[in-house]
Amino acid sequence: MKKLIVFILLLANSFSFACGFYPYGEDIRMRFLDSNHFNCQSFDGFHYSANYYYDAASLTEQMVIQPNDKLWFEYCNGKVTIDAIIEAVYKIPSQSFNQKNGNKMIQFLYQQKDLEAINYLKFAKSCEIANMFYSDPWERTETVEIKIIRNKVKDALKFAEKTKNEELKLRYKFLAIRLAFYGGLEQDVIAIYNTISNKNPNSINYWCMHFRAIVEQDKSLQNFFTSQVFANATDKRFPIYSFYDKEIPINDVLKHAKTKVEKANVYAFAATKKYDKSLNYIKKAFELNPKSDFNIFILLREINKIEDWVFTPYYTNFNPSISGNDYWNEERIFSYKALQKRINNDRKYANEVLNFLNFINLNNVQIEVCKAQLSFITQKYNSSLKIVNSLEKKLSLNDSLFNDIQIIKALNLTARQSKNKALITNEVQSVLLKNKKNKKFLFAIARELEYLGNTTDAAFLFSKINDSNDGYGYGMVWKSRKHKRGSYRDYFYDYFGYVDILYSPKQLEDIINKARVAKNDSEFDKWLKTRMVSEKSGLYDLLGTKYIRQNNLYKALESFKKVDEKYWNDYYSNWNINSNGSNSFDKNPFFAFKHTPDFITNKETFYVTKVSYTQKLIEYLNKANNSKEKNRDYYYFIAANGYKNMTINGNSWMMRRYSVSSYDLEPFPEDEAEFQNGFLAKKYYRLAYKHSKAKKFKALCLWLAEDYKKLKRVQEDEYYYLSDKNCYAFEEYFNSRK
C-alpha cells in the first residue's frame, strides 16, 4: 500500500514544472513498437517508460479474470459464473452465508454439501480486519502488533490441519501467512511458509511466496522470491516489484534457483530492472525457458529502450526520455555531435540484439516483428523490408501487429531513398493515411525526408502533426541540430516556427508552390495540403519577412502583395493607425519612435501594413538615392527611421520577427545581427548627415546613428545638449532642416 503512494509521487514528479510547460520524459520519447500489440498484456505497467510505472490500463480494466476468481471458478467445476463468485467472495457478509441466500456460488456449495468451503469463506472474511498494517498510535514504532492476530493465526493453522480439501488447506495456510505478516510476526510467516509444498504451484503458492519474499532478510533470497512471484503471480506484480536489491550479484540469486524455469525467471526479472543494456540476461532467459511470455516482454522492453536511445535524439534532438531534465541550466551546451556518437553506438547494440534473434531462430511472429524493427534501427532497410514482406503473408489484416509492420515498412521505404531524390511513395502515402493520428510516425517520416533533402514534403508533414484543429495539442516537439545553448524555450512545436528559422526563402517558395489545390489531387494530397493551403497567406507573409531579412525589398513586396487582406486585419490589426489605446504598434514607423514625443509634424498618413511599409521604404530610398532629389537628407532620414523601427527596440519589429523575447536563442534567423544592432538604420542616418546642410539636423542624424564620438568631435555643444535633452530636443533639431 505504501509503495502505491511512492509510485503516485514519482509519477506526479514528471509534471512538477508548475511555472510552465517543458517537454520531458514521455512527452518526447520516440517509440514505434506498441507493447499493447504483443502478447504480454499481463505485464502492463512495467513496459519501458520514462515514468516510474508505465501508464497502463489496470488488469481489471483489461477485463482479465483475476487469479483468485479463476481458482474459485475451477473449484466450482465451472458451474458458477465469475460474477456470482465475485459477489460471494468479496461482497456478501459472512452472516448472510446460508442456504436461503440467492447467490449462485453459495447455493452451489450448499448443494454440494461443501461446508468446508463455506466455513473457509466465512473465516476468510473474519480475517479482513487484519489485512493491513496498523500504525502505532503511541508513535513508538512504525506499525503495531494487534493482539487478536496471534489467535487468528492459530485458528487458521488449526483449520488447515482439519480440512481435507488440499486447495482449502493451502488457502488456510495463506491466510495464516498473511495474518502473521500484517501482525508483524515475521518468523511465523517463514515457519508457515516452510510447511507448504511448492510441487505444482498455483496462484495461492505465489501469494504465500509474496509475503515470504517481503520478510526475507537475506537479499539474495529475497531477490529470488521476488523474481518468481513477479514471473508467476500477475496480481502481485506491483506489490512485489520494489523488493529487489540491484546491488546483489545475480549469481548469488541464482544459487537459490533449482530448475531452469526458475533460473530463467531470475534472469528475466533482473533484465526488467536494468536501465542499461540487458541483452546478456535476455539471452539467458531465452536459453533456459524459450517459450515464456516473460521473454517477449523483456525483449520488447529492450527494443523500446533502443528506440528511445536512437530515435529520440535522432529525430527530435532531445536526449533520450529517461535522461534528467536540466532545462534550468542555461549553461548547458547542446551538441548534436555528441548525440550522434551515442546514436551510432546504440545502433551497434541494436545489431547485437538482432544477431541474437537471428541466432535463436524461434518461429514466432512477434520476434519477427522485433527483428524487422531492429533491422530498421540498424539501417538495414532492405533486410527489414524482406522480413516485413514475409510477415505480411503470415499476419491477418486484423492483427494489431499488421499495422505495426506497415509502419516499419513505410519508415524503411522512406529512409532508404537517395539524397535529394526522396519522395513520399504511394505505399507510404497509404500507410500515412491509415495512421494519421500517430504523430510520432508522421514526424519520423517527415524527418527522414528532411534529412534526405526533401524539405518541402517534410514541412507539409510537420504541418499535419500539431494541427490545433485536431484537438490533440502539442503532438511533437523537437530541436534543431543548430541549437547551441539550453533554455526553457529551446524547442519547436509547429512547422511554422521551424520553417521561419531554418528554411531559406527558396525552400519556402517550394512549399508555397505545392500549397495549391490541384484537380488531380489524390486523397493523400488533399489530406497533406489542407493546412498549408488554408494558411497560404501566412506563408506569403513569412516569405516576405524572409526577404526583408535579406533586405531584398522588391522580393519582399512581391510576396507581401500576395497576402490576403483579411490576413493583415486578423494578425496585424494593431497597425491600424486609427486604433486607440496604449499599444505602441499603432505608430507609423517612419515618423515616430517608441517612448518618444512626436517630433515630425509634416508626415504622411497611410494605413500601415507590411505591404505599405515595404512600398514606402522602397519609395523613400529611391528618392533618397536620386541625385536630383532636393531633400535627400530628409528621405534618408525617414528611411533610416523605417529601418530603426524594424529592430528589436522598434515599434515595428514584426517586420522581421513573429515574436520577440529577451530569451531568444540560437539558431536565429539570418538577420539577427541587424535585428539587434540596426546597422542599416545607422548607415542611412549617416547618409542623411552627409547630405544635410542644417547643423542641428546633422547633429540629430549622428545622434540617432549613435555616432557619439564623431558628434562630440564635430559638434560638441550639440552633443551635450542632446545628451541632456535627448528625445525632447528632437523636434527642434528635426525642424532645423527647413
Partner 1 sequence: MKKMLFLGLLSVFLFSCKNENKIENVERAFYYWKASDWRLEQKSDSILKSTETKKLYIKFFEVEHNELMGNIPFSKNRMRIYDTIIEIIPTVFIKNEVFLKSSFKELDLLADNINFLINKYKSEDFDKGVKVKEFQMDCDWTIKSKDNYFYFLKKLKSISSKKISCTLRLYPYKYRDKMGIPPVDKVTLMCYNLLNPLESPKQNSILDVEELSKYLSGVSKYPLHIDIALPIYSWMQLYQNNKFQNVMYSNHEYLIKNMKKIDELWYEVTEDVQVEDNYIRIGDKIKYEQVTRETIEKAITLLKKNIDFDSTTTVTLFHLDDAPLQKYTNEEINSIYTSFSK
Per CB under 8 A, residues contacting partner 1 are: 129, 134, 137-140, 144, 146-148
CB of 124 to partner 1, least distance (A): 18
Lookup: cell for 308: 528511445
CB of 122 to partner 1, least distance (A): 19
Choice between 65 and 146, CB closer to partner 1? 146
Question: CA dihedral defined by 615, 617, 618, 623, rounded to 10 degrees?
Answer: 120
Q: What is the C-alpha separation between 224 and 238, in angstroms, rounded?
A: 16
CB of 187 to partner 1, least distance (A): 22
Q: What is the C-alpha separation between 736 and 634, in angstroms, rounded?
A: 12
Choice between 150 and 695, CB closer to partner 1? 150
Which amino acid, 237? R
Choice between 18 and 132, CB closer to partner 1? 132
Choice between 79 and 154, CB closer to partner 1? 154
CB of 211 to partner 1, least distance (A): 21
Write the DSSP string, 583-605: -GGGS-TTT--TT------S---
Lookup: cell for 115: 461446508
Please give the span between the terminal C-alpha atoms of the chain, in angstroms, as a whole number: 87
Q: What is the C-alpha separation between 548 and 564, in angstroms, rounded?
A: 19
Choice between 143 and 551, CB closer to partner 1? 143
Q: Find residue 485's DSSP bridge partners.
A: 333
Choice between 64 and 144, CB closer to partner 1? 144
Choice between 140 and 258, CB closer to partner 1? 140
Choice between 140 and 291, CB closer to partner 1? 140
Nearest alpha-carbon partner for 33 in 391, 314, 305:
305
Lookup: cell for 379: 539501417
Cite the DSSP H helix spans in 515-564. Answer: 523-534, 536-549, 553-561
Phi, psi (rounded to 5 degrees) for 87: -65, -45
Write the DSSP string, 490-513: --B-SHHHHHHHH--HHHHHHHHH
CB of 135 to partner 1, least distance (A): 10
CB of 221 to partner 1, least distance (A): 33
- Grouping H, G, I as helix, E, B as strand and the rest as coil, residue 649 is coil
Choice between 181 and 376, CB closer to partner 1? 181
How far is CA 707 from its chain centroid?
50
CB of 134 to partner 1, least distance (A): 7
Choice between 127 and 268, CB closer to partner 1? 127
Helices and strands: H and E segment counts in the chain: 36, 0
Choice between 142 and 330, CB closer to partner 1? 142
Q: Cell 511470455 identifies what position? A: 293
CB of 142 to partner 1, least distance (A): 14
Choice between 134 and 356, CB closer to partner 1? 134
Choice between 152 and 171, CB closer to partner 1? 152
Contact predicate 45/59, CB 8 Å: no
Q: What is the C-alpha separation between 375 and 369, in angstroms, rounded?
A: 10
CB of 130 to partner 1, least distance (A): 9
Choice between 134 and 679, CB closer to partner 1? 134
CB of 462 to partner 1, least distance (A): 54
Nearest alpha-carbon partner for 701 in 720, 716, 687:
687
Nearest alpha-carbon partner for 430 in 528, 315, 533:
528
Choice between 152 and 210, CB closer to partner 1? 152
Q: What is the C-alpha separation between 168 and 116, in angstroms, rounded?
A: 8
Q: What is the C-alpha separation between 545 and 500, in angstroms, rounded?
A: 9
Lookup: cell for 428: 507510404
Choice between 131 and 677, CB closer to partner 1? 131
Angle at 519 between CA 515 and CA 524, to 5 degrees: 60
* Greatest alpha-carbon span in the chain: 120
Question: Is there a cis peptide before residue 320, judged by omega within 30 degrees of 0?
Answer: no
Q: Find residue 143's DSSP bridge partners.
A: 135
CB of 141 to partner 1, least distance (A): 11
CB of 133 to partner 1, least distance (A): 12
- With b for 16 or more beta-carbon neighbours within 10 A and e for fewer, the 373-385 pattern comes to bbbbbbebbebbb
Nearest alpha-carbon partner for 705 in 639, 634, 640:
640
Half-sphere exposure of 419 (CA within 13 A, CB side): 1
Nearest alpha-carbon partner for 235 in 64, 353, 105:
64
Choice between 153 and 445, CB closer to partner 1? 153
Angle at 439 between CA 433 and CA 443, to 5 degrees: 95
CB of 128 to partner 1, least distance (A): 13
Q: What is the C-alpha separation between 245 and 20, in angstroms, rounded?
A: 37
- Grouping H, G, I as helix, E, B as strand and the rest as coil, residue 23 is coil
CB of 147 to partner 1, least distance (A): 7
Choice between 8 and 148, CB closer to partner 1? 148
CB of 129 to partner 1, least distance (A): 7
Cα four-point dihedral sign 59, 63, 64, 67: positive
Write the DSSP string, 165-186: -HHHHHHHHHHHHHHHHHTT-H
Contact predicate 414/428, CB 8 Å: yes
From the number of C-beta atoms within 10 Å of its C-beta (0-12, 13-18, 19+), residue 82 rates as middle
